[in-house]
């Protein structure tokens, strides 16, 4: 996979899930102020086994199994962060983060602005569809939070970034939401370096260079976009593919630099269309690169429906390489 | 009331109740002069609750006030000017005009967490503060308040249940002032005593006359020390009455006249003065001295607040994010050896033991076969890996025990 290892050497190839586990393990090893709190994270090791082995190593005080109470998990983590701890909260499925919506958007996010109280905490969990999880185990709720000043929102696509960004999130002084696309957990592998490293929050990366149009994506759809880009190349269309990695704060510079070069932009996300990040990117391009655009901003997204369960429905609902390919070809004609 | 405090403690309680009321009286004047930007809430008649409970805390302990806990803030060391300036949206206020009322805090010095308007949110937050204090070995207690109305929110129950499972050193004061805005308590909660909320979480509770400051203090003191000793969270229901409307704009005409008259005759400050006088702890001269001290202080504080500027408009754009060490140096203040929570000493065998399958032991009913018993982690650890040394003696390693304390312990406090 192009560009996934960030140029690391002497590393080993690990799954996306293993990269997340390593990040938590190493951060807990590095700093005793880091604790993990969530449902079934301890003895069971997490519903997806992302925290397997952490309880054995760090004990009952640092790996905390909770009742099914997302507001209590987020609230307690916030209180801990006020005392200098750096809690990592696991949402068993990221769908359940909305059970703590008020706690996150009103309490956690506003504290620094209102009363100078930083809340260094991470909320992470498995998100996204494509695994037939149905309407309550497939969500991409990132945009609820991208609309909330005070939060940072990360949605990585590679094991290298997942590990480096999760470490950066733990060390950040702000509340960071960290979305882990569960389709990627065991399906992709990538190299991670042997030693400690972080990936900067708020920086996108160009995964594939191109000149004819820019495809902007993130998370699982980044891989689908790369697949489409390879197909486009067969037809002589060289697409530049940008992986946003962080949605808040958004790396405008990387987006603008690319669009100034290609003059065309297609945004691909698995989130539903209305209110997705594509709309925000369209507005930014209109404000700051209107004269550079040779075609309309186009988007390939999921349908504006809940995530359906049946494989036939879900496949129809989700973007895929074919849909991206068609949209890109249409855009390239401008 | 029977004598059990030092004279200074008795007089402190009196001073802070008087200060609480005077600060609020002055804010009513400022409100009528249009100097207060937003709403103004009153704790008239509930001063004994804020003052008595906060006075039970040590300096290192944490509190999070609600809008009717100005008295608790004063006891914890907040200056009246800060309260005035918060309400007046001044640049020198603790939030520099970004929020009003009692919505401010101080993480470094006073250990105050700011409330928000969504009721109940503070309960899990202060549970986390309590857990962090225990984790760091600080032996601190966290306290917050909730109203009769706020006790119906989901997060109240999530928070209290979590605090109970964690045996967090947390004290929750449930101020039952009989009214949630315009809705009487009987229409909100089908319980005679809101202290019974505690039974659902297997934690101890007290019921106290919220207009009796000595009862409030001594009960809170007992609860705080029990929580500090590792007995887990405790709920105190303070029975009182909200003498003003929800806020200044609300004349509270929905409150029956007889009810108001009953409670006005039980003013906590008047009752306490009577007690102090009869116990020869306060005479006319002491009273006058205290009044003069408060008047002089508040005149100065008000002047400072009125002279403070409004925030410059562009200030609205600043401070959404912490920018790093230049903004906040975040560090945990360890008061126990870090070696206790790092490998190898932190390492455990990650298994539960579940004794008494279906015996009903955990639910305290012999014939409750659907309930599993207490769930405990295995203690079969290698030497030195289990309970670290140097913990407070009464402390239970909370993650190991999901255990219900004896229920039905709603006790009458001393009156």
Residue B331 lies in a domain: no
Residue B179 lies in a domain: yes
Task: Using alpha carbons only, give the angle A122, A124, A125 rounded to the nearest 5 degrees.
Answer: 170
Closest residue in chain A to residue B138, using alpha carbons only: A83
Residue where the block lists tokens 């504290």 = A111
Domain span holding position B302: 7-317
pLDDT tens digits, one per residue of A268-281: 999 999 999 999 99
Q: How many domains does chain B have?
A: 1
- pLDDT of B376 reads 42
Of B107, B116, B349, the CB nearest to A107: B116
If one counts every other C-beta atom within 10 angstroms of the C-beta of residue B367, the result is 7
Cβ-Cβ contacts under 8 Å, A86 against chain B: 330
- pLDDT of B85 reads 98
* Residue B182 DSSP one-character state: T
pLDDT mean over B113-118:
97
Residue B336 lies in a domain: no
Closest-CA residue to B177 (of B18, B103, B69): B69
In chain A, the largest separation of any two C-alpha atoms, in whole Å, equals 60
- Where in the sequence numbering do the catalytic residues of A fall? 137
C-alpha to C-alpha distances, A216 to A196, A205, A268, A273, nearest whole angstrom: 29, 10, 6, 14
Closest residue in chain B to residue A121, using alpha carbons only: B330
pLDDT mean over B37-65:
97
Residue B386 lies in a domain: no
Chain A with chain B: Cβ pairs closer than 8 A: 203
Domains defined along chain A, listed by start: 12-192 (3.40.50.970), 205-332 (3.40.50.920)
pLDDT tens digits, one per residue of A306-319: 999 999 999 999 99
Hey, are the CB atoms on B135 and A75 less than 8 Å from each other?
no
A59 touches chain B (CB under 8 A): yes
Cβ-Cβ contacts under 8 Å, B128 against chain A: 75-83, 87
Closest-CA residue to A204 (of A145, A127, A130, A256): A256
- pLDDT of B412 reads 40
- pLDDT band of B385, cuts 50, 70, 90: very low
* Residue B308 DSSP one-character state: S
pLDDT > 90: what percent of chain A?
Answer: 96
Of A66, A84, A173, the CB nearest to B162: A66
Q: Are strands B142-147 and B170-176 parallel, antiparallel or unpaired?
A: parallel
Q: CB-based contacts of A283: which residues, under 8 Å, 6+ apart?
A: none
Residue B292 lies in a domain: yes
ipTM score of the complex? 0.95
pLDDT for residue A205 is more than 50? yes
Residue B188 lies in a domain: yes
Q: What is the C-alpha separation between A229 and B309, in angstroms, rounded?
A: 58
- pLDDT of B354 reads 62
Of B125, B334, B342, the CB nearest to A107: B125
Token readout for B319 is 């401070």
Question: Which segments of A31-64 does DSSP mark as H helices, in order?
Answer: 54-58
Mutate to test the interface with A, among B118, B154, B162 (most CBs of A within 10 A): B162
Residue B389 lies in a domain: no
B128 touches chain A (CB under 8 A): yes
Residues 133-192 of B with CB under 8 A from A: 133, 135-136, 142, 154-155, 158-159, 161-162, 165-166
Q: What is the mean pLDDT of chain A?
A: 96
Q: What is the mean pLDDT of chain B?
A: 88
**B38 in Cβ contact with B100 (< 8 Å):** yes
Residues 91-110 of A with CB under 8 A from B: 102-103, 106-107, 110
Closest residue in chain B to residue A69, using alpha carbons only: B158
Beta bridge partners of A89: A37, A123
B99 touches chain A (CB under 8 A): yes
pLDDT mean over B80-89:
98
CATH number at residue B93: 3.40.50.970
Closest residue in chain B to residue A78, using alpha carbons only: B125
Sign of CA pseudo-dihedral A108, A110, A116, A121: positive
- pLDDT of B2 reads 54
Hey, are the CB atoms on B352 and A43 less than 8 Å from each other?
yes
- pLDDT of B384 reads 41
- pLDDT band of B390, cuts 50, 70, 90: very low
Of A73, A76, A173, the CB nearest to B324: A173
Residue B358 lies in a domain: no
Closest residue in chain B to residue A120, using alpha carbons only: B330
Token readout for B239 is 């029975």
Of A45, A60, A64, the CB nearest to B377: A60
pLDDT tens digits, one per residue of A88-116: 999 999 999 999 999 999 999 999 999 99
B331 touches chain A (CB under 8 A): yes
pLDDT tens digits, one per residue of A12-36: 999 999 999 999 999 999 999 999 9
Hey, are the CB atoms on B121 and A106 less than 8 Å from each other?
yes
**A53 in Cβ contact with A46 (< 8 Å):** no
Token readout for B162 is 């979590």
């Amino acid at each position: 996979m192009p560009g996934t290892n960030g140029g690391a050497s002497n590393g080993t190839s690990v799954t996306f899930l293993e990269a997340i586990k390593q990040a938590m393990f190493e951060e807990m090893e590095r700093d005793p102020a880091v604790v993990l709190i969530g449902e079934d994270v301890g003895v069971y090791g997490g519903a997806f086994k992302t925290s397997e082995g952490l309880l054995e190593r760090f004990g009952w005080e640092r790996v905390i199994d909770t009742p099914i109470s997302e507001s209590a998990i987020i609230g307690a983590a916030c209180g801990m962060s006020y005392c200098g701890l750096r809690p990592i909260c696991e949402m068993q499925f990221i769908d359940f983060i909305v059970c703590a919506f008020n706690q996150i958007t009103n309490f956690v996010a506003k504290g620094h602005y209102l009363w100078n109280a930083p809340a260094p905490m991470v909320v992470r969990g498995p998100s996204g569809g494509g695994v037939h999880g149905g309407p309550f185990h497939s969500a991409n709720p990132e945009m609820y939070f991208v609309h909330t000043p005070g939060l940072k929102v990360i949605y990585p696509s590679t094991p290298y970034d997942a590990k480096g960004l999760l470490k950066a999130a733990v060390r950040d002084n702000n509340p960071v939401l960290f979305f882990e696309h569960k389709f990627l957990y065991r399906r992709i592998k990538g190299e991670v370096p042997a030693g400690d490293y972080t990936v900067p929050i708020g920086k996108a990366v160009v995964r594939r260079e191109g000149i004819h149009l820019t495809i902007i994506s993130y998370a699982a759809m980044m891989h689908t976009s790369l697949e489409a880009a390879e197909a486009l190349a067969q037809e002589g269309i060289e697409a530049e593919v940008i992986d946003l990695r962080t949605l808040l704060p958004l790396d405008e510079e990387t987006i603008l630099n690319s669009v100034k070069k290609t003059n065309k932009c297609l945004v691909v996300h698995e989130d539903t269309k209305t209110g997705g990040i594509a709309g925000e990117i369209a507005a930014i391009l209109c404000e700051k690169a209107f004269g550079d655009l040779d075609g309309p901003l186009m988007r390939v997204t999921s349908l504006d429906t809940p995530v359906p369960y049946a494989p036939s429905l879900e496949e129809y609902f989700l973007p895929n390489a074919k849909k991206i390919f068609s949209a890109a070809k249409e855009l390239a004609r401008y | 009331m029977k004598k059990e405090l030092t004279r200074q403690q008795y007089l402190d309680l009196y001073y802070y109740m008087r200060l609480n009321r005077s600060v609020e009286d002055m804010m009513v004047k400022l409100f009528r002069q249009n100097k207060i930007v937003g709403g103004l809430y009153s704790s008239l008649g509930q001063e004994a609750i804020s003052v008595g409970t906060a006075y039970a805390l040590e300096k290192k302990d944490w509190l999070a006030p609600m809008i009717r806990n100005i008295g608790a803030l004063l006891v914890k060391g907040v200056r009246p000017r800060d309260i005035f300036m918060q309400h007046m949206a001044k640049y020198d206020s603790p939030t520099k005009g970004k929020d009003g009322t009692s919505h401010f805090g101080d993480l470094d010095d006073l250990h105050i967490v700011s409330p928000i308007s969504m009721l109940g949110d503070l309960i899990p937050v202060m549970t986390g503060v309590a857990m962090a204090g225990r984790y760091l070995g600080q032996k601190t207690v966290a306290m917050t308040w909730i109203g009769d109305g706020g006790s119906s929110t989901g997060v109240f129950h999530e928070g209290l249940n979590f605090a109970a499972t964690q045996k967090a050193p947390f004290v929750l004061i449930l101020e039952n002032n009989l009214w949630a805005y315009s809705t009487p308590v009987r229409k909100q909660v089908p319980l005679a005593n809101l202290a019974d909320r505690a039974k659902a979480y297997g934690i101890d509770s007290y019921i106290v006359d919220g207009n009796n400051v000595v009862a409030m203090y001594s009960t809170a003191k007992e609860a705080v020390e029990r929580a500090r000793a590792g007995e887990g969270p405790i709920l105190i229901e303070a029975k009182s009455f909200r003498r003003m409307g929800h806020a200044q704009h609300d004349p509270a005409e929905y409150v029956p006249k007889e009810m108001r008259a009953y409670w006005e005759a039980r003013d906590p400050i008047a009752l306490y003065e009577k007690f102090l006088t009869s116990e020869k702890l306060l005479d006319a001269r002491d009273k006058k001295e205290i009044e003069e001290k408060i008047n002089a202080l508040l005149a100065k504080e008000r002047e400072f607040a009125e002279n403070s500027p409004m925030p410059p408009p562009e200030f609205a754009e600043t401070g959404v994010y912490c920018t790093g060490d230049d903004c906040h140096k975040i560090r945990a203040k360890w008061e126990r050896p870090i070696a206790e929570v790092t490998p190898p000493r932190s390492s455990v065998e990650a298994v539960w033991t579940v004794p008494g399958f279906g015996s009903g032991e955990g639910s305290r009913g012999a014939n409750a076969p659907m309930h599993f018993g207490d769930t405990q982690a295995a203690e079969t650890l290698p030497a030195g890996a289990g309970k670290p040394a140097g913990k407070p003696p009464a402390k239970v390693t909370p993650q190991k025990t999901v255990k219900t304390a004896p229920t039905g312990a709603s006790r009458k406090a001393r009156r």
